Amino acid sequence: MLDAQLNELCGQIAHESTTMQEAAARKAELSRAENDERAVVERMASAQWALDDKYARLAAQLTQLQRTNVYNDVFNIGVRQGDGVASINGFRLGGRAQNVEWAEINTAWGQTLLLLHTVARKLSYEFVGFRLIPMGAFSRIERIDSETGAATVLELFGSGDLYLSRLFPMHRRFDAAMVAFVECLDQVMQFIVSVGGHRLRVPYAIEQDRVGGVSIRPQFGQDDVWTKACRNTLMDARWALAFASSYEP
């Protein structure tokens, strides 16, 4: 009888052992399944994060392109084939040797001044010693005295013979206005380099009244040289506009 009880007890132990092994196997299987499921969830989450990041980057690029296109639509700048005269919104800046009328040149200067004014506002930049007054073909720049705060009005438009008319004060102010514009443009470009990094390179370096080594002051018998200076100036302005269109403080 004792042997029978012992055999029964051994059988129960064996059964329980088998049951425990089966339970352990099922637990291990469930654990593997859970790990596999967790890995799948993690992969899906990682993929979702990657998609979210890609979407954010594409959205930012789209916004930048939209802003750039808006600026390009407002200020359409190019260089005419053949005579090399730069233009803004279809108005030529320079080109007296090609018989470009003063009304067109003055309008181009007004558009260029409006461009620089727009760039400065986008960059939240305040000009030092100057105030821009965009007024179409009769635009002006005010030179502000650093001590008294008094303003000297410089008229950014010309008329008549470019060289003979310089004998009169009004047209000397036109010379001074162009030089002042170049100085303001240089201020903006220096600011751009300071915030955008010294890896940025301006198209045409400005030194006093020279843009790309060419003076913005008209010289007798050198209309083409003055036109080149105007073109260099407009190309620098376009470069500044391109930076400002995507600038975020």
pLDDT above 90: residue 164 = no
Residues paired with residue 78 on neighbouring β-strands, in sequence order = 87
Q: Under a CB-based contact definition with an 8 Å cutoff, are residues 145 and 182 in contact?
A: no
83 sits in which H/E element: none
Range with lowest mean pLDDT among 25-39, 182-196, 201-215: 25-39
Residue the block writes with tokens 């008229």: 155
Q: Under a CB-based contact definition with an 8 Å cutoff, are residues 75 and 111 in contact?
A: yes
Which pLDDT value is given to residue 1?
A: 57
pLDDT above 80: residue 174 = yes
Q: Helix or strand or coil: residue 38?
A: helix
CA–CA separation, 233 and 244 (whole Å): 17
Cβ neighbours of 128 (radius 10 Å):
10
Which pLDDT value is given to residue 66?
A: 52
pLDDT above 90: residue 62 = no
Q: Under a CB-based contact definition with an 8 Å cutoff, are residues 199 and 140 in contact?
A: no
Q: Which of 229, 190, 202 is nearest to 96 (CA)?
A: 229
CA–CA separation, 76 and 63 (whole Å): 20
Which pLDDT value is given to residue 245?
A: 87
Which pLDDT value is given to residue 64?
A: 58
pLDDT above 50: residue 169 = no
pLDDT above 70: residue 166 = no
pLDDT above 60: residue 163 = no
Range with lowest mean pLDDT among 25-39, 88-102, 142-156, 205-219: 25-39
**Higher model confidence: residue 14 or residue 156?**
156
**Average pLDDT, rounded, for the chain:** 82
Q: Once rounded to an integer, what is the mean pLDDT over residues 76-81? A: 89
The pTM score is: 0.70
CA–CA distance from 135 to each of 106, 108, 115, 127, 214 (Å)? 10, 11, 12, 18, 27
Q: What percent of the chain has pLDDT over 90?
A: 50
Q: Under a CB-based contact definition with an 8 Å cutoff, are residues 154 and 176 in contact?
A: yes
Q: Under a CB-based contact definition with an 8 Å cutoff, are residues 223 and 46 in contact?
A: no
DSSP-derived secondary structure letter, 221: T
69 sits in which H/E element: helix 2-74
What tokens were used for 108?
Answer: 């181009």
CA–CA separation, 115 and 225 (whole Å): 23
